Structure formats: structure tokens, C-alpha cells
Amino acid sequence: TYVGDADLGENINVGCGTVFVNYDGQKKHRATIGDNSFIGCNVNVIAPVTVGKNAFLAAGSTITKNVPDEAMGIARCRQENKDGYWGKLPPSKK
């Protein structure tokens, strides 16, 4: 877990692999996480963003918008498999 510039509330859970992404190449931004919130594993919190009190961030999500109090933020695509992908690679990539 990497916590950049963030204000973290009390009694929160920050899952393993969580990254607070706070630098846009020019400026650093802050994220705010409300009390009693739960952040699942492998979540990217893209600052500036505010996660309300008693909120949940679903594992594997990239959060770019504010999440209200008592809500769940989910931001991930469904798995899609590309059949035959290996055979399409050039020899230098195999």
C-alpha cells in the first residue's frame, strides 16, 4: 500500500495493494477517506477525491469520482478473454 497525500478517517480499512495516486505530473493532490470506510485490495484512489463516511471501495477498482457517505464505489471492467492471443504474437514476444 502507498498512501500519498491523504486525510484518513478513524477506524478505516486499507486493503493490501491500495495506492493513493496523488501526483498528476505537475501538482500533488489530496484524497480524503471518511470514518469507518472500507477500501478493498488493489484499489487505486485517484486524487483529488473524497470518500464519505461508512463507504466501501470494491476490490480492484480505480476510483476517480467522489463516493458519498454509506455508498459503494465500484470501478472495474468485466473480465474478457482473448482466445488465440498467443498465436497472434510476433516471434520476438514469445
What confidence tier does 32 reach under pLDDT thresholds 50, 70, 90?
very high
Under a CB-based contact definition with an 8 Å cutoff, are residues 10 and 33 in contact? no
pLDDT reading at 34 higher than 90: yes
User: What pLDDT does residue 25 have?
Assistant: 87
pLDDT reading at 75 higher than 90: yes
The residue among 77 and 49 whose pLDDT is bigger is 49
- From the number of C-beta atoms within 10 Å of its C-beta (0-12, 13-18, 19+), residue 7 rates as exposed
Averaged pLDDT, 53-66? 97
* Structural domains present in the chain: 6-93 (2.160.10.10)
Single pTM value for the model: 0.83
Q: Which residue matches cell numbers 502507498?
A: 2
- What residue type is 71 in one-letter code? A
Residue of 12, 65, 5 lying closest to 35 (CA atoms): 12
